[in-house]
Structure 1
Amino acid sequence: MSLLRRHPLSVGLVGLLIAALVGLLVANADALPVIGGGTTYTARFTEAAGLDPGNEVRVAGVKVGKVTGVSLDGDRVRVTFNVKDTWIGDSSTVSIAIKTLLGEKYLAVDPLGAGKQDPSTPIPTSRTVSPYDVTQALNGLGSTFDQLDTKRLAQAFNAVSGAFANTPPQVRTAAHGLAALSLTLSKRDASLARLLDGTRQITQTLAGQNGNFQTLLTDGNQLLGEVRMRRDAIHALLVGATNLGTQLAGLIQDNTKQLAPTLAALDRVTGVLNKNQKSLDKTLSLAGPYYRLLTNALGTGHWFDAYLCGLVPKDYLPTGTQPATGCMPPNTTSGGSR
């Protein structure tokens, strides 16, 4: 009796345990010493600046690993990243850089230092740099402007302008300018709010289409690379087409004297045919019945059927085969001559 029949529950549990172990190994394949490899380091930043797990790690522009984790560590951000076959010195600097115009980030490492960086020691914030996020700044500007009371701001500037009424002309001009600016902002409050809101929506849309833009740029690079590779072939094709055009032009020019009389004669022939089109149509309409009768006369063997009217006297013709009037073929159904 097989083991499955003796202990089906035990076999099922062992199978589930093996499946769970395989799934765990697959999920952590990058951390395995043979399959994944690499060394994991930790760096502390003042802010994450949009960095996400899975973003690239680059040294001198070359991808050497990826970000494995971004988490909050007190008032700082803890970033872990894994690199393979890359020197990380004890004076290395790490910065969050912008990869694309749409705001995707990557981790840039500058491998400095005479000694090797200890993987268990985090890289301090003194050696890390976070970028300035323009998208977040625009979103923050929109939110701040929505909370701004432009009417009170205009009243405040008007009060400042009145307070500086007896000051020197330069000060009064500056105060009046501020008051005019506040009035303009007050009048354009709704328009500016819509503008900033539209800007925020555009940045969000572009951020959502980041992958499509990357694919488009990658395909464009591949197309340009293929065109560059085919440049010599395309150049040879264009040169060949130019030479062919030159040869054809020379051929036509060389044979103009011979072709001109032929074309003129052909033009005269077509003119004659056009003038006699009605006669040609009548001839073709009469030729049809003629050739039909000729085919009937020649279609019975190695001879042709014919009827000669008046050659034999009527007295010699069999009774019943003589035509009543005119010269008609005899009735061959009751016998006749060929």
Structure 2
Amino acid sequence: MKKTLVKSLLFTLVTVLATVTLAGVIRNSASGPSRTYHALFSDATSLNKGDDVRMAGVKVGTVTGISLKDNQVADVSFTVAKDAPMTRGTTAELRFRNLVGQRYVDIHPADSPGPTLPAGYTFSLSQTKPALDLTLLFNGFQPLFQFLDPKDVNTLSGEIIAVFQGEGPTVNDLLSSTASLTSTLADRDQVIGELITNLNNVLGVVDDHSDQLDTTLVTLQQLVSGLAQDRSTIGDTIDGLGKLTSSVADLLGDSRKPLKQDIASLGKLSGNLSDGDTFDSFLKTLPTKLDAIGRTASYGSWLNFYLCSIQGKIPLPEGYMGDLGANPVATRCS
């Protein structure tokens, strides 16, 4: 009986604590003493009474009201816990709270300590920053959407609607991927910064040589225009080159067989010259013979030399062995 009573009391206590915590979350309010401040925003769309006021990601207050001031800016009143550092130099910014579009006021403390801002202080437009304008963002993608097929746009819209119609796992995967991407970009912030710096240097060099770049572009345009005007001549030239290539190919095909025969005959001649001692003997005795003939011919005119005829065959590209030579015309050659 006693154990049952203790279990019941513990269950009741846990239930009451859970109910109080849930009520606090639903009520969306900060406990403890607070101070009220005002902030002027150029755009406070989707910000509602009861939204969070956060500092470094921790809730420190609640939006208490939104009104129009001077028909130009939104005057947002909110509370901030007394122990929150609200010093001179603090700024306020509107940020997205979730994918549904809810927003909250994010307080950025001053970098250096200063005097505390009194209750009722109003942040001017120079001290506030509105949330990201999604309309302006989507308008930036408008040129891309113009190149998309309407059917593809409808399919993409249907998939986005399906994601936000209760497919929790898909949304969780999307958020996990986004968080992973954000972490990766944060880890590569130095590399990204160096890339932007180098890109800025490149753009600076390009800007310094803008005159040369303009001249290059103008010259390139003139070159392209000249090529366009001579496109007929260029086309005829390419066609002529094609015909020339075909002719050369045919010529090489026709001369291949005679050239093959000449190479084979040259091989036989080389074999004949390399085999036997006849050629070697001829070369060895040739100087002696020429010397004897020269001495004989140098005394008187009783020994004369005449070239009466030359006969030979010269291969032609067509493969015909033409007979060429000189016939004797002098009486002494008859």
Q: Under a length normalisation based on structure 1, what TM-score does the superposition of the two structures give?
A: 0.33
**Structure with the bigger percentage of strand:** 2
Q: Under a length normalisation based on structure 2, what TM-score does the superposition of the two structures give?
A: 0.34
